[in-house]
Amino acid sequence: DTGVSQDPRHKITKRGQNVTFRCDPISEHNRLYWYRQTLGQGPEFLTYFQNEAQLEKSRLLSDRFSAERPKGSFSTLEIQRTEQGDSAMYLCASSSTRASHNEQFFGPGTRLTVL
């Protein structure tokens, strides 16, 4: 049973460029979450999917951020016109509706540096 995978693991980009990250959840997990984490802080919720439906999106998320999960399997998170404040670790987590309390398991994260 493989865990959650994320690609790339590191991304360095220049301000104003677009970036896209991919997350592959644990195979039988139908819920998928994206979080952002900065140094010294806990993960901050960005958005989550149940199957292919995006059920909630943080009000803190600007319209430069978009996420998709087209077939209910892998998901992508795109950031358009990146800013230096977007530099952070982007974490993906997955869980199953069959888990009674929705335990989440995290991938290794994508560390984004915006120059």
Partner 1 sequence: QKEVEQNSGPLSVPEGAIASLNCTYSDRGSQSFFWYRQYSGKSPELIMSIYSNGDKEDGRFTAQLNKASQYVSLLIRDSQPSDSATYLCAVRRNFNKFYFGSGTKLNVKP
Stretch that binds partner 1, among 15-23, 69-77, 80-88, 98-106 (CB under 8 A): 98-106
- Closer Cβ to partner 1, 36 or 86, answer by number: 36
Residues 48, 34: contact at Cβ < 8 Å? yes
CA torsion angle 34 104 102 25 (round to 10) = 70
**Interaction of residue 103 with partner 1, rule CB under 8 A:** yes
CB of 101 to partner 1, least distance (A): 4
CB of 93 to partner 1, least distance (A): 8
CA nearest to 90, candidates 110, 67, 75, 70: 110
CA distance 51 to 63: 22
**Interaction of residue 33 with partner 1, rule CB under 8 A:** yes
- Closer Cβ to partner 1, 41 or 62, answer by number: 41
**Interaction of residue 96 with partner 1, rule CB under 8 A:** no
Q: Is 80 exposed, middle or buried (0-12, 13-18, 19+ CB in 10 A)?
A: middle
Residues that bind partner 1 (CB under 8 A): 31, 33, 35, 40-45, 48, 50, 55-56, 89, 91, 101-109
